[in-house]
Structure 1
């Protein structure tokens, strides 16, 4: 079995790269609300499985296909169950939990070889159902200059560009006071055919960028502390994912060099010496969609991430996303495993 159930069609030049990446194909032989990835999914060279944003966005896309056209998502709550294998197709099973006049609820389970790798519950509301009289308030977008739009500049050649602004409040003695700021945007132009749904799925795809990594960044802990650590990680990823080791090694080396430059520019070192990341992986992911009309995902979206808590081998990160005109379009929350390398294995205790 390959990376897709059906033979992948050529990319549609009338659509943006991110629309092509996230396209789904119905699998009517299995059921009316079952879909699969049309094209192979991206496995970032530095990750253990497929990019988490792909599972988030394709689950959203699958659910959107089962609700009326005037219903749009206002929240989705996701759990990463297992690492997705980019060499295998993903089946997205949608369950129609509830259909009301103003709200609709869906659950989606992403499966590979019959095993769930990702699950999410989504809630949609009908546009305009809140009435004309409304309570309104919002958080103001930080005053940060929008980067120049030169498509192709930035790390990687994926379906979206990412530009880090940096860490704010570096001099604060408290990691919880520091924030990571960055811009993301889909490459090319999202088609009118894709409509608002395409912009929402692209937003969901990009929302996973750098997310749980914020915990390490605000503590000034580089992901890879030595060439040996890069070699070890590259060998492990090659074994797990079947990616060429030299490709992985170059990608990880670039990441390490970028982190080193950031720390030199800020003249900061780790808050505490001899701390190295041993494991960092997402556990869950929540998106609250706010204004779903006043943004384009193919224009720069500003994100600010902060982490109010870390401990017990886990970390929590909050993210807010603004459109170029200052409209707050989404608030996201992610918890993940963030474990340091230990001097010695933890002692076991008998129950």
Structure 2
């Protein structure tokens, strides 16, 4: 294998698309399961739920936050139905709840809040870290290709990287590593990636936020395992055996960004333990505007076992 795999990537518009069944009821049209994942990609469930909720809100209100829980893995074999409830109608804020239902079971719940913008209010943000521009950063496809061709790795590991390469080439999101495992003077570890939606339509601001919801789940909880030094492949107690999202939150602070442009995603894991990890993320435009802040907690398990009561956990 000498050159990169040429594959037509999926369209982000297809990933987000839902069918309207009734005024507050929507249904997924396509579902994607990442390589070796337990179920449908969480970012796709978030983004489809957001599209459903946004379609039930007056355009004068803009999405400013969401909080969601993943209750069980979604199967790609059956469409997901999104039921939107109009929880609150206020002058400045409106609230919607969304239940994602599959085979009669609630698999995901989300609360999201929309605000009439107040651009005249004072503002503040953390500055964007100094990183190389996206054009000078390595594509994830090129990194996987390099590793797939690395003869010092075992055949099984090289094949795994080849499968990752195929999947990454087909993804609707392009990713370039800006800085990985950057350790600051206080010991804080950061992972930074440039991310961009490929071939994106000219969506208005409300649906740019839905796309950002999709992007926000990429590489996110995995940074907790990497912070602890866990490996994806091999044997031993330092091998990562499972990651799975429990909850996810996003706070939006701009209507003026386009996911077809490069966004810098900065990730940190402040705490991990007891088979869980929490990660915080910040998304910046190339001009340094902080447009969204995200948090996520998930199951992060290594290949180590403790006392058992003889029962098997579903997580």
TM-score by length of 1: 0.73
The 1-side partners of 2:296 and 2:135 are apart by 29
Deviations 1:50-71 (A, max 9, x none): 1100010111111100111111
- Maintained 8 Å contact 1:313/1:339: yes
Instruction: Describe the shift of the 1:145–1:169 C-alpha distance in structure 2 as closer, same or farther (beyond 3 A).
Output: closer
Alignment map for 1:134-145 (pairs within 5 Å): 134-145=121-132
2:42 corresponds, among 52, 57, 61, to 52
Structure having the higher strand fraction is 2
Alignment map for 1:300-319 (pairs within 5 Å): 300-319=262-281
User: SS of the counterpart of 1:57?
Assistant: helix
- Maintained 8 Å contact 1:167/1:218: no
Structure 2 match to 1:17: 11
- Maintained 8 Å contact 1:146/1:300: no
Instruction: Describe the shift of the 1:131–1:276 C-alpha distance in structure 2 as closer, same or farther (beyond 3 A).
Output: closer
2:215 corresponds, among 206, 212, 215, to 206
- Maintained 8 Å contact 1:73/1:123: yes
User: SS of the counterpart of 2:169?
Assistant: coil
Instruction: Describe the shift of the 1:153–1:181 C-alpha distance in structure 2 as closer, same or farther (beyond 3 A).
Output: closer
Instruction: Describe the shift of the 1:102–1:171 C-alpha distance in structure 2 as closer, same or farther (beyond 3 A).
Output: closer
Alignment map for 1:230-249 (pairs within 5 Å): none
Q: CA RMSD in A?
A: 2.2
| Deviation (angstroms), 1:153 | 7.2
| Deviation (angstroms), 1:124 | 0.3
2:206 corresponds to 1:197: yes
| Deviation (angstroms), 1:189 | 3.2
Structure 2 match to 1:108: 98
Structure 2 match to 1:90: 80
1:147 corresponds, among 134, 140, 149, to 134
Instruction: Describe the shift of the 1:35–1:131 C-alpha distance in structure 2 as closer, same or farther (beyond 3 A).
Output: same
Alignment map for 1:45-84 (pairs within 5 Å): 45-84=35-74
Structure 2 segments unaligned to the other structure (5+ residues):
1-9, 142-167, 311-315
Structure 1 match to 2:253: 290
Deviations 1:254-308 (A, max 9, x none): xxxxxxxxxxxxxxxxxxx842223211100000001122x11011100110011
The 2-side partners of 1:149 and 1:202 are apart by 24
The 2-side partners of 1:137 and 1:345 are apart by 46
The 1-side partners of 2:259 and 2:19 are apart by 23
1:35 corresponds, among 9, 20, 26, to 26
Structure 2 match to 1:181: 192
The 2-side partners of 1:41 and 1:143 are apart by 36
Structure 1 match to 2:243: 280
Instruction: Describe the shift of the 1:131–1:171 C-alpha distance in structure 2 as closer, same or farther (beyond 3 A).
Output: closer
User: SS of the counterpart of 1:148?
Assistant: helix
User: SS of the counterpart of 1:169?
Assistant: strand
- Maintained 8 Å contact 2:69/2:110: yes
| Deviation (angstroms), 1:161 | 0.9
Structure 1 segments unaligned to the other structure (5+ residues):
1-15, 227-272
Structure 2 match to 1:233: none
User: SS of the counterpart of 1:308?
Assistant: strand
| Deviation (angstroms), 1:147 | 1.7
| Deviation (angstroms), 1:195 | 1.3
Structure 1 match to 2:152: none
- Maintained 8 Å contact 1:59/1:110: yes
Structure 1 match to 2:108: 118
Instruction: Describe the shift of the 1:298–1:131 C-alpha distance in structure 2 as closer, same or farther (beyond 3 A).
Output: closer
The 1-side partners of 2:217 and 2:57 are apart by 24
